Structure 1
Amino acid sequence: MSAEEPVVGVWRLVSYVDLDESGKPTEGPLGPSPTGLLIYQAGGHMSVSMMRGDHRTAPAGTTHFMGYAGTWRLDAGQVRHAVSVSAHAFQVGTELVRDWELEGDLLTLRGTAVLAGRTQPRVLTWQRVHPA
Structure 2
Amino acid sequence: MSLREQLIGAWKLQSYVEIPVDDSEPFYPLGKNATGIIMYTPDGYMSAQLMGEQRQHFGTGDWFNGSPEEYIEEAKTYIAYSGRFFVNEETQQLEHEMMVSLFPNWIGQQQQRIVSLDGDTLKLGPASPIMSKGKLVMSQLIWTRAQKN
Quote how far apart the aligned CAs of 1:46 are: 0.6
Contact 1:35–1:51 (Cα < 8 Å) also in 2: yes
Unaligned runs of 5+ in 1: none
Q: 1:17 to 1:115 in 2, by over 3 A?
A: closer
Counterpart secondary structure, 1:27: coil
Structure having the higher helix fraction is 2
The root-mean-square deviation of aligned C-alpha atoms, in Å, is 2.3
Please give the per-residue CA displacement for 1:25-74, whole angstroms capped at 9, x wherever unaligned: x2222112110000000110110111002223xxx866211100000011
Aligned to 2:103: 88
Letter in 1 for 2:139: R
Aligned to 2:116: 101
Contact 1:31–1:54 (Cα < 8 Å) also in 2: no
Letter in 1 for 2:49: S
Count of equivalent residues: 129
Contact 2:37–2:50 (Cα < 8 Å) also in 1: yes
Q: Which has the larger radius of gyration?
A: 2
Q: Residues of 1 paired with 2:84 and 2:43: CA distance?
A: 9
Unaligned runs of 5+ in 2: 57-69
Q: Structure 1 residues 86-95 or 74-83, which shifts more?
A: 74-83
- Return the TM-score normalized by structure 2: 0.77
Please give the per-residue CA displacement for 1:79-131, whole angstroms capped at 9, x wherever unaligned: 10111000011100001111000011110002132358863111000000121
Q: Residues of 1 paired with 2:32 and 2:133: CA distance?
A: 22
Q: Residues of 2 paired with 1:52 and 1:44: CA distance?
A: 27
Q: 1:23 to 1:115 in 2, by over 3 A?
A: closer
